[in-house]
Amino acid sequence: MVRLPFELKRHFAFPLSLTLKRRLMHPNNTSFRLKKITLATLMTAAALVACSKKEIEAPKADTQSQQESSQELGKAAGDLLKQISPDTEKAPAVNANASALPTADGDKALTDYQPVNSGVQLAYLYYALSGLPVDYEKLAGIASQDYRSTTDSFKKADILAALKPQIDQQINSFRTNRYVKVHMSGAAIGIGHYDLAAKSFPVNGLPLAENGFLTFNDSAQYHLAVTNGSGFNKLKIEDQAKAKEMESLVTKGLPNYYGVGQYPTPADLYLFAQGVDQNSGIVKFQIVEVSLADQHDNLLGVIK
């Protein structure tokens, strides 16, 4: 409840144009007058009903349109992750009581961070931190194509029995180690033009917005959100010679990549899992470090 200059579909409601045909009837004709009176009465009644409905019924969110837009975002990013930015009024308060959440150990070695690259791993993390009873059938439905595709009760039972030890092992692993590494790549993730005054490049496409979150395409039920994203939206480069080289990359861009004035930079996010929101399926993370690379996997810079 990841991730960007995505191309979003917009839905417009076009007003209907009503054309009234003139009837070749004399104005004094009784039938004509009755039809005019009846039409006016019906239009008035319809207007009153419409006004009444507007006052009573609250507007409903177009859930299907939101889901379709989310799918388009994932495709546009060219990655397993997709970033969703819900309305802040409706989105879960990701940063609520953030100060009360546990924080990362800054001395933790980056080699100890466990890779997370799927929604099922995020689901394991969710159960590791929530303390809720494990819903094995739900997790099997995310983790196993065979489990999802069969309707045979005995086959499902056999698959579930084989998956349970693996599920328990994964959940216990995240209980003992909350430090994870998420790799993100795609045309929408990158740096913009250098800010001479701030001596930094803006970083775009990462899940840094307050009340924004990421989901993996294999599971839309669990989401990754960060509680301290505002401090990781700029890559500081003091060395002007290096800044000029990087600026030339931004200016040239890359062929066949979406976006102008941006250089795609694959990113590694080093995160500490702080807790969950049981109402929305969100797992909350503190960003410890972000590393950005060029298209040849050479390190461009680190944000801490």
pLDDT tens digits for range 107-160: 999 999 999 999 999 999 999 999 999 999 999 999 999 999 999 999 999 999
DSSP 59: P
The model's pLDDT over 177-186, given as tens digits with 9 standing for 90+, comes to 999 999 999 8
Q: Give yes or no for residue 295 having a pLDDT over 60.
A: yes
Answer yes or no: is pLDDT of 234 > 50.
Answer: yes
The type of residue at 276 is V
Give the C-alpha separation, 267 to 287, whole Å: 13
Q: Exposure of 236 by Cβ count < 10 A (0-12 exposed, 13-18 middle, 19+ buried)?
A: middle
In 3D, which of 210, 191, 182, 199 has the Cα closest to residue 272?
Answer: 182
Per-residue pLDDT band for 106 (boundaries 50, 70, 90) equals confident
Residue 248, pLDDT score = 94
pLDDT at 297 over 80: yes
Summary mean pLDDT of the chain: 77
Q: Region 77-106: what's the mean pLDDT?
A: 60
Token pair belonging to 141: 């439905």
Whether residue 66 has pLDDT greater than 50:
no
* pLDDT for the residue numbered 253: 82
Q: What is the pLDDT of residue 100?
A: 86
CB distance 245 to 237 below 8 Å: no
- DSSP conformational letter for 95: T
Q: What is the pLDDT of residue 210?
A: 83
